[in-house]
């Protein structure tokens, strides 16, 4: 179920639901106490209920009721947290993000991406490729330290039917350096499903908020 920002009506429904569940718990306690009183009234005077047994039964019902109340409280908090998360996530709409991908999104004639280097490199090369794998452009980022390093590609003349991709080659003294391709995209909407926030992006499929590597 998808959750969006709650209104006053939604909040009222949540309160009424919580109140109803609390009433159910109270009713269970009331039924238990009535049964216990009936048991005491009808017990064998020659073989009365042991005090320890009665105390144990009362402790059990209190434990069960307490767990139920805790579960309902946690469910209520989870629902409210999801609504707050979407409300806070709305501030991301229109912002740029970096996600793990080598597919470029062209916006206003420019495509942007980044590379995350595991260690420093003395040479970093970026190749921009067509959907068919043809090299459209190639440029050097030079020597770079470990971490994220962004780049932009002038895509004003690109007329391809699909989105271009890029490939990064990083080396240190001739040895390959592990790297991760990151693509830049823009957040256009935010939603929440089962307590997980999802970002709708302009140029690709939606991603989980936890998959965002950087907010620009």
Rounded CA separation 109/98 (Å): 18
CA distance 159 to 163: 10
Task: Look up tokens 């609390």; give the residue.
Answer: 22
pTM for the predicted model, two decimal places:
0.63
Please state, in angstroms and rounded to a whole number, the distance separating the CA atoms of residues 216 and 25.
48
**Mind listing the pLDDT tens digit for each residue in 41-90?**
776 666 665 666 666 766 776 676 677 777 777 776 666 666 676 777 78
Q: 123-162: per-residue pLDDT in tens? A: 999 999 999 999 999 999 999 999 999 999 999 999 888 9
């Amino acid at each position: 179920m998808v959750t969006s920002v709650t209104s006053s009506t939604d909040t009222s429904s949540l309160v009424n639901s919580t109140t109803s569940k609390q009433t159910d718990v109270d009713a269970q306690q009331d039924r238990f106490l009535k049964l216990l009183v009936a048991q005491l009234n009808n017990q064998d005077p020659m073989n009365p209920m042991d005090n320890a047994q009665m105390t144990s039964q009362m402790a059990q019902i209190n434990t069960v009721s307490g767990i139920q109340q805790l579960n309902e409280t946690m469910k209520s908090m989870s629902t409210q947290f999801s609504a707050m998360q979407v409300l806070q996530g709305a501030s991301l709409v229109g912002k740029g993000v970096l996600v793990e991908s080598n597919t470029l999104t062209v916006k206003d004639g420019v495509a942007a991406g980044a590379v995350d280097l595991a260690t420093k490199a003395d040479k970093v090369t970026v190749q921009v490729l067509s959907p068919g794998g043809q090299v459209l452009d190639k440029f050097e980022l030079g020597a770079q330290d470990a971490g994220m390093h962004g780049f932009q590609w002038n895509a004003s003349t690109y007329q391809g039917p699909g989105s271009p991709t890029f490939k990064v080659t990083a080396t240190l003294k001739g040895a390959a350096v592990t790297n991760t391709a990151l693509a830049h995209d823009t957040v256009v909407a935010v939603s929440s499903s089962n307590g997980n926030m999802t970002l709708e992006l302009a140029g690709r499929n939606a991603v989980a908020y936890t998959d965002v590597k950087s907010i620009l």
